[in-house]
Amino acid sequence: MKANIKAISYYLPESILSNELINQEFPEWEIEKISSKTGINSRHISADDEFSSDMAVKAANRLFEEHNIDKSTIDFLLFCTQSPDYFLPTSACIIQERLGLNTSIGALDFNLGCSGFVYGLSLAKGLISGGMAKNVLLITAETYSKFIHPKDKSNKTIFGDAGAATLITSEKGFCELDNFVFGTDGKGAENLIVKQGGLRYPVSNENEDISDEFGNVRNDKNLYMNGTEIFNFTGEFVPQLTNSILEKSNLSKEDVDLFIFHQANKYMLNHLRKKIKISEEKFFIAMEDCGNTVSSTIPIALYEAQKQEKLTAVSNVILAGFGVGYSWAACNLIFNQ
């Protein structure tokens, strides 16, 4: 049984952190420098009392309303987040109740970052292909801003909060999910991490702030990213990932109409595009007004590509997610069914 993406919607919090506001706080960060390096002009930041489940519910309700979807047809809920409301219960169970979905559905959380949307699509396809579900609601939502130290100017310029909802169905959609490839290398786990908060390292109130060579401040309950190692990781593995999905799908780069990668930052994306030798017109970027929203970057970009009519005359689209874990995944979408 085929699995198809039928609809996507997303939600961005009301509060906006612009480059102008960052410059006011950190005058050494010039507005134009932030924009040119990151490709981001502003990011949306969740309110103090707004969490991943709240954004998930808002994104899903927007999906139902925007695309006239009967929520009673949903028979499985997948929720991807690394910033859950609680250790337990499962956030997906809370979201099911708040959305008023049937109690006969399956619901689960899975913890992945920038590769999470592609992994979620693969799980949805497996459920549908195995006859266990017909309509899977995949939601991605993150509040990374709550992990970032107020004086960590580097991470502050990159990450924004968001939620995205995608309906994957056995019925006809705007594209079919075809092949998938995956990768995992846990040796890079400590290069992108929130060390405290789990059971191994509970949150401590006695943390001392430390400052790096660039003046970024953080402690062990904040998000830490080793930018150099993450950049090296993507440069090594993303080209291999792209070649693997092309080979598995029996496609050449010329056969692909659009590449949509995880929207990490403009500098990294342009480096990857040039290294893989993808033309600019085939490489879609949509992060200017929302930043790096982790697992929601690809569905947001897909939504914007569809809105800008970039998907009206295409046959093959490649999605690739990569990051924290290290974890990576890619798939190809078939259009013109």
CATH number of the domain residue 265 falls in: 3.40.47.10
pLDDT of residue 336 exceeding 80: no
| Judgement on whether residues 142 and 194 belong to the same structural domain of the protein | no
Q: Which pLDDT value is given to residue 100?
A: 98
41 tagged catalytic:
no
Quick one: how far is CA 98 from the chain centroid? 23
| Judgement on whether residues 15 and 164 belong to the same structural domain of the protein | yes
| Judgement on whether residues 129 and 191 belong to the same structural domain of the protein | no
| Judgement on whether residues 209 and 161 belong to the same structural domain of the protein | no
149 tagged catalytic:
no
The mean pLDDT of the chain is 96
Q: What is the rounded distance in angstroms from the CA atom of residue 263 to the CA atom of residue 176?
A: 22
Domain of 61? Answer: 4-172
Helices (H), the chain: 19-25, 31-38, 52-66, 91-99, 116-129, 153-158, 227-248, 266-276, 297-307
Q: Which of 4, 135, 262, 316 is catalytic?
A: 262
| Judgement on whether residues 21 and 41 belong to the same structural domain of the protein | yes
Q: Which of 4, 44, 114, 179 is catalytic?
A: 114
Domain boundary among 111, 140, 172: 172
pLDDT of residue 291 exceeding 60: yes
pLDDT tens, residue by residue, 221-278: 999 999 999 999 999 999 999 999 999 999 999 999 999 999 999 999 999 999 999 9
| Judgement on whether residues 237 and 306 belong to the same structural domain of the protein | yes
> Count of domains in the chain?
2
Share of the chain above pLDDT 90, in %: 92
pTM above 0.95, yes or no: yes
Domain boundary among 138, 172, 206: 172
| Judgement on whether residues 157 and 78 belong to the same structural domain of the protein | yes
Domain boundary among 154, 172, 190: 172
| Judgement on whether residues 167 and 206 belong to the same structural domain of the protein | no
Q: Which of 222, 292, 316, 332 is catalytic?
A: 292
262 tagged catalytic:
yes
pLDDT tens, residue by residue, 94-153: 999 999 999 999 999 999 999 999 999 999 999 999 999 999 999 999 999 999 999 999
Q: Which pLDDT value is given to residue 283?
A: 98
Q: Which pLDDT value is given to residue 337?
A: 55
